[in-house]
Structure 1
Amino acid sequence: MCGRYALTHSPESVENALGAVVEAFPPRFNIAPTQPILVVTSGPRRDPGSNQPDRAAMLVRWGFIPDWARDAGQFPLLINARSETAATKASFRAAMRHRRVLIPASGFYEWKRAGRKIAQPYWVRPRDGGVVAFGGLMETHSEPGGAEIDTAAILTCPANTQIAHIHDRMPVVVRPEHFQRWLDCVNNEPRDVADIMYPVDPGFFDVIPVSEKVNKVANTGPDIQETAEVPEPAGKTPPKDQLDLF
């Protein structure tokens, strides 16, 4: 699963990696559910002579709400969607068909468990240091009063052998050569992008043990990514937003 991640690259780096113009934003070292996150969508058609992809960037709430949910306050917090079942589950089916997005990140955090207890948090980042794009789903939820809120979830897949000793799930990583096919929901149905939703090869990420500072949403500085010694299991309680709901 993915319950926390970071986006610390510059807006220019994100633009170069994903091909969408983004507004300036500060480095974010500890992005948590319910916070606004940056997503890249298939955007309006550019000038015919442009060689740039048709993509747009926007901020949405991390915590997916299906369009049919009447009371968002009573609906479970859906931060992840299982790639194996997203095309058939009622909550994600429409978004999987019509609203696939890319979610730029510098890496993500994962917590190794010992039974129901936390053993160690890890910072998982691309080995080449670049921007990574998670596969995501977006939905616009209409509130009873007429207001609208854009929401998103990160797709997950079975963990590769590098991550499996920490957790059995990991985010879907969409490689650059698949960006256009992933975002093109007009010509590509879920079955046409199923081959994209597989774990990346072992070695794509570096896995770095970090301290328990990352457990607190209030800790947002770069120090939470500093390498820490791996302690003996201390029996700490996992952060409440680390629930593998779907």
Structure 2
Amino acid sequence: MCGRFTLTITFEELVKRYAIEDQGTPFHRPRYNVSPMQQVPAIINDGSKNRLGELRWGLIPSWAKDDKFAGKTINARGETLLEKPSFKNLVYRKRCIIPADSFFEWINVEGQKRPIRFLKKDNSIFSMAGLYDTWINPTDGAKMNTCTIITCTPNKLVSHVHDRMPVILKKEDEQKWLQRNEVNVKDLLRLLMPFPTEEMLAYPVSTLVGNVKNEGPECIERINVTLK
């Protein structure tokens, strides 16, 4: 799964990376411990151009009676997207990208859970494949735009720690994933593959990252600990 990630670049760098034309009011600051149920930057395509905005992490299907779905849908398994009522229609019309520059997973070391940070070797930003939907609260009519991060089987590096990893799109596939007029689902599902092991690295970080209240750069500092 993917339950925590980071996005430590500035709003301006984010806009430049995804060639966003209509920037709007800056809403992002470097973040070192992004957690479910928080607002996260996301890119969608409106049919003519890419747009950058915020979605709440934890998808609520448009047809849901309440918001209790969110805690169960922070991730969506790529292999079963077309089998799940929450996701199957979104694959055709509501695909998004959630930018990140690392994600965390936990490993058990002598009875203690230790967080591991996974990132690209060049420390650059990457695009996690996602889906989004809009839910209208039946009580007050308020709209909520939410998202889920798609996962796949892990590459060799991640497999030492967890049996799932977020789908990291190749840069050349990002626009194909976003384009609304792309409806060849078989082609889209082929993009949901493990990111190459040789392009990633991992290292242990402080257990501080386990508390969502800890959001500083100390969350990504490498620590010296023996992992068996």
- Any idea what SS the aligned residue of 1:199 has? coil
Identify unmatched segments of 5+ residues in structure 2: none
Q: CA deviation at 1:97?
A: 1.4
The CA RMSD over aligned residues, in Å, is 1.9
TM-score normalised by length of structure 1? 0.85
Distance in 1 of aligned mates of 2:223 and 2:61 = 39
Q: Hey, which bits of structure 1, 4+ residues long, moved more than 4 A?
A: none
Question: Does residue 119 in structure 1 map to residue 108 in structure 2?
Answer: no
Partner residue of 1:12?
A: 12
Q: CA deviation at 1:118?
A: 4.9
Partner residue of 1:176?
A: 171
Matched ranges for 1:223-238 at <5 A: 223-231=218-226
Partner residue of 2:133?
A: 139
Partner residue of 2:77?
A: 82
Matched ranges for 1:35-114 at <5 A: 35-43=38-46, 45=48, 54-73=49-68, 76-113=71-108
Matched ranges for 1:132-211 at <5 A: 132-144=126-138, 145-211=140-206
Distance in 2 of aligned mates of 1:71 and 1:114 = 39
Partner residue of 1:51?
A: none
Q: CA deviation at 1:44?
A: 5.1
Identify unmatched segments of 5+ residues in structure 1: 46-53, 234-246
Q: CA deviation at 1:187?
A: 2.6
Q: Which amino acid aligns with 2:99?
A: P
Q: CA deviation at 1:76?
A: 4.2
The number of aligned residues is 224
- Any idea what SS the aligned residue of 1:121 has? strand
TM-score normalised by length of structure 2? 0.91
Residue deviations 1:89-132 (CA, integer Å, cap 9, x gap): 111111111100011111111112479x6532111111111110
Q: CA deviation at 1:5?
A: 0.4
Q: CA deviation at 1:56?
A: 0.2
Same amino acid, percent of matched pairs: 32
Distance in 1 of aligned mates of 2:108 and 2:153 = 16
8 Å CA contact 1:87–1:93 kept in 2: the answer is: yes
- Any idea what SS the aligned residue of 2:80 has? coil
Residues 88-97 or 148-157, more deviating: 88-97
